[in-house]
Amino acid sequence: MLQRRIFDFLCGSRGLSAELKNKHGIFSRSTNSDYSWSWITKLLQSDHFKDCVSDVKPFVISNDPINTEECSFGILYFTKKEGQISAIDATEVQLIQHYRSRLGKDNVIIVMDDVEDSNDQEKIRILESHPDIEDLYHNLFLFSPQEKQSKYKNFFSSLMTINKAKVAEVSFKGNMDKIRKIVESTCPENWWFFTKPHTVGIFSRSSESDFEWLIKQLKSESFCNIVSTANPHSISNNGMQQFMDAVSGCTFGILYHTRNRGRINIVDVTDSLYNEELKYLSEHLGKEKVIVVVDDLEDASDEEKTRILQSQPSVGTLARDIFLFNANDKKKTYDN
């Protein structure tokens, strides 16, 4: 099916934990008895969105905006059936401003339904006549009764793109926040009396350019109080002594591997790349000060993490944790 292919392309096949999925609120002045927006609700509750959306709640609004604490994404719905979109008046502008301030511009879209004219020229006309709302929402969608079925696909694709970007950001930042907490938890007692207690070493057989993004993250504001420096160290077949010398200069170690090398062969499998290195890091720094990062994966789900830990148990024995990064998620978040 076309919708399934769109989903696979835009959202991938990863399973996501509930906390990473968006909670959608559909806000409208339409009455419950009318329930004109039910087609959007059914769309977001369908199997196509099950990996991106955890919940959908419709809200009927009055002049007093509704509390949005339950939602992470908002759809403002207007229908011409009730004369709501002959013009966007000051009340509507205030309403859009309210949800933008609570959810953020990238998490708000506007749907104008049952319009007579839903082409691009009409959309441009609306935007030009209301420049005050231009910076208040991510996108505007117009639907006429006749064209709803054909434009439904474009709306579906756009929603999937927005949700995918949201999930990517949360997943990437969630991983980095967990890494920061681990690094901070291994700082010495009363570490705040010292200046940036940790020297982090990133050890890999990969090119430094592969994990340059990780070095920059460790040198960012989020880590500024706990990391004095983050240095790359190359691992080679004939460089064990050089590797050991590098470890002696670190207080926290990250073993980095990219799926672009062909497969996930860290330890305990045929042609493992890091059997001795991970063991040495754990022995000399302590398990609590060693993590493993696996990058450029198609599947970075909890299920894949469990599979790696089961097939390569020394990772769990010798390292504090393992973090998986999806190639597309990292690119969407980090490049922005």
Q: What percent of the chain has pLDDT over 70?
A: 68
> Residue 142 class from Cβ within 10 Å (0-12 exposed, 13-18 middle, 19+ buried)?
buried
pLDDT band with cut points at 50, 70 and 90 for residue 136: confident
Q: How many of the other CB atoms lie within 10 Å of CB of 198?
A: 23
CATH of domain 186-335: 3.40.50
pLDDT given for residue 131 in this prediction: 73
Interval 223-227 mean pLDDT: 88
Q: Which of the pair, 177 or 135, is modelled with greater confidence?
A: 177
In the DSSP assignment, the letter for residue 147 is T
CATH of domain 2-167: 3.40.50
Q: Which of the pair, 245 or 222, is modelled with greater confidence?
A: 245
For the chain, the average pLDDT equals: 76
**Is residue 294 predicted with pLDDT exceeding 80?**
yes
Residue span(s) of the chain under CATH 3.40.50 come to: 2-167, 186-335
Are 113 and 77 in contact, with CB atoms under 8 Å apart?
A: yes
User: What count of residues does the chain have?
Assistant: 336
pLDDT given for residue 9 in this prediction: 29
Q: Given its phi and psi angles, is residue 212 left (phi above 0), alpha (psi -120 to 50 degrees) or beta?
A: alpha
pLDDT band with cut points at 50, 70 and 90 for residue 81: low
pLDDT given for residue 54 in this prediction: 74
pLDDT given for residue 251 in this prediction: 94
pLDDT band with cut points at 50, 70 and 90 for residue 2: very low
| Most trustworthy range by pLDDT among 28-32, 79-83, 97-101 | 97-101
Q: How many of the other CB atoms lie within 10 Å of CB of 249?
A: 11
Output the DSSP codes for 268-290: SSTT-S-HHHHHHHHHHH-GGGE
**Is residue 216 predicted with pLDDT exceeding 50?**
yes
Q: Which of the pair, 158 or 8, is modelled with greater confidence?
A: 158
pLDDT in tens, 231-262: 999 999 999 999 999 999 999 999 999 998 88
Interval 310-316 mean pLDDT: 95
pLDDT in tens, 141-191: 787 776 655 545 555 555 555 555 555 555 777 788 888 888 888 877 655
